[in-house]
Amino acid sequence: MLHSMTAFARGDQDTEWGALTWEMRSVNHRFLEVSTRLPDDLRSLEPVVREKLAAKLGRGKVECNLRFRPSPTMPIEVVVNKELVRRLVSACREVEGMMGRPAQIDSHVKALDILRWPGVSQIVEINLEPLHQAALALLDDTVNDLIQARAREGARLKDVIEQRGIALEGWLAQVRVRLPEVKSRWKERLLNRIAEAKVDLEASRFEQELVVLAQKMDVDEELERLSGHIQEIQRTLNQKEPVGRRLDFLMQELNREANTLGSKSVDIETTRASVEMKVLIEQMREQIQNIE
């Protein structure tokens, strides 16, 4: 199945620790290039994130961002150094007793001041492993959504390329039909010029001139190669593995043959057909730049 490199996906999930949101944007690129932005608490997941994306995506520049909004009820345990607090309280009373007129300080303010003292309180690090697992599970779902979006866009691109291929075959058919008429007209024109010049050519010499002219006008090989490339494009579009680079190469070959057809043309209609084919090839090439 054809996949585009341009897509967007978003995944949201509420957990007991808070809300997780993955956002992924993918655009065309020669290789797979992944950039990540993770919260500090989940930054250790970056190698795993890159590994998962590399396993499922072939090409594209992918921006992978994770947002984490902690829950107000997220369990946090604060441990108080009671012995240090007792010593600080005792020291405060001793100082107040030494003062002639001790200041009346609100007990809550004093308690907050004591809690700010280094070493009095410590937040116990919670186990983030369940949060990590939830983030990775949501990542898998979001990546799958991204792949589905790339597949839908790839199906649209396939239709566009197939339509351009059909149009190319139509122009090829017109050139083939017109070739006998073009050759006959140029043979007649050559005879008229010889008659006007009143030159008496031997039959063998005349045949040689016709052969030279026919070689200059012969585009059968270019038409066959163009037809073969179009068939190869159709076959490639139905392959399961990434085919963007192969299709890009086929576009170069198509363009080369169309240019040669135009350079050999001795007929305005054949020249026009060559130009129209190059327009179609360029339209196909622009679409193929987005194919994985």
Sign of CA dihedral 128, 47, 242, 288: positive
Residues contacting residue 1 through CB under 8 Å, at least 6 positions apart: 151, 154, 155, 240
Beta-bridge mates of residue 287: none
Q: Which of 181, 256, 159, 263 is nearest to 219 (CA)?
A: 263
Low-confidence ranges of the chain (pLDDT < 70): 73-78, 99-110, 117, 120-127, 182-218
Helix (DSSP H) and strand (DSSP E) numbers for the chain: 8, 6
- pLDDT on residue 13: 94
* Sheet of 18-27, strand order: 7-14, 18-27, 60-70, 32-37
- pLDDT on residue 209: 56
Ordered by where they begin, the domains of the chain are 7-73+127-150 (3.30.230), 78-124 (no CATH), 154-288 (1.20.140)
- pLDDT on residue 126: 64
Ordered alpha helix ranges (H), 198-267? 203-217, 220-237, 244-264
- pLDDT on residue 211: 53
Phi, psi of 55, rounded to the nearest 5 degrees: -75, -25
Tens digits of residue pLDDT in 61-84: 999 999 999 877 666 666 777 777
* Helix, strand or coil, per DSSP, at residue 127: coil
